[in-house]
Amino acid sequence: MKKQSFLFLIGGILSLIIAMGFGRFAYTPILPLMQKDLSFSNTIAGYLATSNYAGYLIGAILTGTIPLKKYRGIALRISLFINILTTALMGFTSSILLWIFLRFLSGFSSAFVLVLASGIVLDKLATINKTNWSGLFYSGVGLGIFSSSLIIPNLNHLFLWKGTWIGLAIVSVVLFILVWIWLDDSTDIVELKNKAQIHKQVPPSNWLRWLMIAYGLEGLGYIVTGTFIVSIADKTPSFENNATLVWMIVGLAAIPSCFIWSLLAKKWGYVKSLIFAMILQSIGIAMPAFWMSQTSFITSALLFGATFIGITTLATTLAQQIEPSNSGRTIGNLTAIYAIGQLIGPTLAGAVSSFTHNFNAALVGAAIVILVGASLLLNGLKFERKTKVKNIIFKH
């Protein structure tokens, strides 16, 4: 890649670190720190998470309906600013009502960042015949998770949980400056449409609904672990107040996962790769429910980290290939379905865990939901066998 294109990709990665790694998913390792200090229940924790995902849902719906094609760069910068502000303000209050509002705004803005940055970066990569580099772009989420897991324990030691939110916001401001400089929306839309006409899209667009339903079930299932894994680990003697280690492992596994899944998709095809990733993830999610040990949590974290962003990479890239001339709306709709699942998951899991006094039932239920989603994708395998989609999608 040319230096300009490389910096463009780095800008996209940094935008995901800010909005997803810090603004969105930092809640997972900070949650047990907040609960220890303020002693609120898993049900309240579920409400906070659900508020974030409600904002994410509305943001995803709006990005899919508002015509932002000419203003994606400006809208992305505004969304990043709002996201960083909500992260900072979490450290300035102990009001649950204000937290709910701030997490809603954070989710709203993070959806805009994910969809807009995905559209900008994937369109750009398509025009320079580097679609398989999408895995590097989505590694930003894993890098953000890993970075936050390194930063949070130190900030908490020095400034307690409030300082962790403020510290992450300060780091985000520095990264935001680089995003502003490097990530501009300069994709040649005419060239992109010409490429869309040259390449036959497989699977066909009417198969997209199956992908969306499966992706929605993925959102419902994965978010149980994505929200509560650190809290679950923190309640086991194995970690002795070092449960953030689990989140660090998730981030480490997530960093290379997107690129690896992109390579597998090139070899196997997107649908087969998606099915395999969802099966692996379901195993990782259910594991702590049947085997409560340090080894099981580490294995669960590895499988979870290795799949949850990889699944997003595969699903969004496949959707962009199916509808390349309207990628923003397609990815927005896909993200909205995903967000509906996320909206239900934390509240349901929090309520079930409060009733059963553990997360076992919630984890098993989440794993089953993901397996159902994977089964819905099976009918897409016939398209890959008939047309060898992998050779079409990655031709360059």
Q: Where are the alpha helices (DSSP H) in the chain?
A: 3-16, 27-38, 42-65, 72-89, 96-127, 134-182, 189-198, 208-234, 244-268, 270-290, 294-322, 327-356, 360-376, 381-387, 389-393
Q: List all residues 6 or more positions away from 147 whose beta carbon is below 8 Å from its beta carbon.
A: 17, 21, 22, 171, 251
* Region for residue 93 given its phi and psi (left: phi exceeds 0; alpha: psi -120 to 50; beta: otherwise): beta
73, pLDDT greater than 70: yes
How many other CB atoms sit within 10 Å of the CB of residue 186? 12
Mean pLDDT of 268-295: 91
* pLDDT tens-digit readout, 125-164: 878 877 777 788 888 999 999 999 899 999 999 999 999 9
Measure Cα distances from 292 to 53, 239, 358, 359 in Å.
Answer: 28, 12, 12, 11
DSSP 103-166: HHHHHHHHHHHHHHHHHHHHHHHHHTT-GGGHHHHHHHHHHHHHHHHHHHHHHHHHHHHHHHHH
**Which tens digit of pLDDT belongs to each residue from 76-112?**
999 999 999 999 999 999 999 999 999 999 999 999 9
User: Where do we find the tokens 């995905």?
Assistant: 118
Task: Supply the DSSP symbol for 243.
Answer: T
Q: Could you give the domains of the chain?
A: 3-187+194-393 (1.20.1250.20)
> What mean pLDDT value characterizes the chain?
85
Mean pLDDT of 232-239: 80
Q: What is the pLDDT of residues 301-327, one digit of tens each?
A: 999 999 998 998 899 888 877 777 666
